[in-house]
Amino acid sequence: MEILVCIKQVPGSNKVEVDPVTGVLKRNGADSKMNPYDLYALECGMKLKEQYGGRVSVITMGPPPATAVIREAFAMGADEGALLSDRAFGGADVLATSYTLAQGIKKMGKFDVIICGLQTTDGDTAQVGPEVSESLNIPCVCNVAKIDKVEDGAIYVDMEMAHEFEQVKVQFPCLITVKKDILQPRLPSYKLQKATDNKEISVYSLKDMDDQDKKHYGLSGSATQVQRIFPPVSDKEQETWQGSGAELADKLHGKLKQLKFIS
């Protein structure tokens, strides 16, 4: 079985601030890590490979340092890795990102199942997975809480909905996005890390793609435009209270009483 896991490098911390005077974005703690949700996707890929045989490949898009997350995936047991990297891919929104990924996936080969994490911690949109599936014209099941089995060219999964689980059978090739905690992700193995130290990572740029029209990638291929960024504003009535613990407790008690939350 050919399994592909989509992964992403995200900022190590989400402490981003905007300077209210200059409007400049200040990103503190600039270290990066693999999107935590992707670890669950990788674990699912590894488990499927262990049970049914085959290979696990990973794909990511980003600047050259993003190969770090591919190396991490190797240390967890991934067999192949590809990085999609080109300045023409910069400034991409969900539409352009998923189109680029779909193009890269076609370049990498044929896959039975593509697994994505539910969402990323930097974008938090949970949209890239389903948009990739549309670009590849394959079925997609999001919010997968359990992978039951693989049989006769189909995967059986439970999709979590608001009040129920839908048990579905999806024909290959397909894409699933898996929930956090679906399985406990394994830790990267030092041995594997050493063994894959020099393993080759394919790097694809625009000229490697089937569709080389710049207008479909990056900012040009994006349907949404960020007009401005600004710090959140609040128009609420506000009071600040200071004092000793006992004073503040007393004041809050009085307020809760006044607001009729307690008698």
Partner 1 sequence: MGKLIVHQDKVTDIAAMVALCPFKALEDNGGKLEINAGCKLCKLCVKKGQPGAVEFVEEEAGPQVDKSLWKGITVYVDHVEGEIHPVTLELLGKARELADKIGHPVQALFLGSSIEDKAKELLHYGADSVYVVDSPELMDFKIESYTAAFEAYINKVKPSAILVGATPVGRQLAPRIAARFKTGLTADCTILDIHDNTDLVQIRPAFGGNIMAEILTTNTRPQLATVRYKIMNAPERSAEARGEIVKLEVPAAKLQSKIEVLGIIKKEKVKTIESAEVLVVAGRGIKKMEDLEMIRQLADALGGDVACTRPLAEAGWMDATHQIGLSGRTVRPKLIITCGVSGAIQFVAGMNNSEQVVAINSDPEAAIFKVANYALVGDIYEIIPELIEKIKQGGALA
What does the chain come to in residues?
263
Near partner 1 by CB under 8 A: residue from 14, 50, 51, 109: 14
> Residue 87: left (phi > 0), alpha (psi -120 to 50), or beta?
alpha
The least CB distance from residue 22 to partner 1, in Å, is 7
State which residue, 130 or 188, has the beta carbon closest to partner 1. 130
| Residue from the set 21, 53, 152, 181 that interacts with partner 1 by CB under 8 A | 181
Question: Which residue stretch of 51-59, 74-82, 163-171, 192-200 sits at the interface with partner 1 (rule: CB under 8 A)?
Answer: 163-171
Return the residues of window 100-119 that contact partner 1 according to CB under 8 A.
119
Task: State which of residues 143, 147, 196, 204 lies at the interface with partner 1 (CB under 8 A).
Answer: 143
Q: What is the dihedral of CA 144, 149, 155, 159, to 10 degrees?
A: -20
Least distance in angstroms from the C-beta of 80 to partner 1 = 21
Q: Is 53 in the site for partner 1 (CB under 8 A)?
A: no
Q: How far is the CB of 103 from partner 1 (least distance, A)?
A: 13
Q: Give yes or no for a contact between 109 and 229, defined as CB atoms under 8 angstroms apart.
A: no
Stretch that binds partner 1, among 40-48, 52-60, 95-103, 186-194 (CB under 8 A): 95-103
| Alpha carbon distance 228, 225 (integer Å) | 9
Cβ pair 8, 60 in contact under 8 A: yes
Tokens linked to 210: 């089937």
Task: Please state, in angstroms and rounded to a whole number, the distance separating the CA atoms of residues 82 and 54.
Answer: 18
- Options 159, 178, 182, 209; binder of partner 1; rule CB under 8 A: 159
| Residues numbered 68-87 forming contacts with partner 1, rule: CB under 8 A | 85-87
Binding residues with partner 1: total (CB under 8 A): 110
CA dist 113 and 54 (Å) reads 11
Query: For residue 150, what are the contacts with CB-CB under 8 A and spacing of at least 6?
Result: 1, 48, 51, 52, 156
201 is a contact residue toward partner 1 (CB under 8 A): no
Which residues, 229 to 258, sit near partner 1 by CB under 8 A? 229-232, 234, 236-246, 248-253, 255-257
Tell which one of 47, 107, 156, 192 touches partner 1 (CB under 8 A).
Answer: 156
Could you say which of 15, 110, 149, 194 contacts partner 1 (CB under 8 A)? 15
Candidate list 68, 106, 121, 189; residue touching partner 1; CB under 8 A: 121
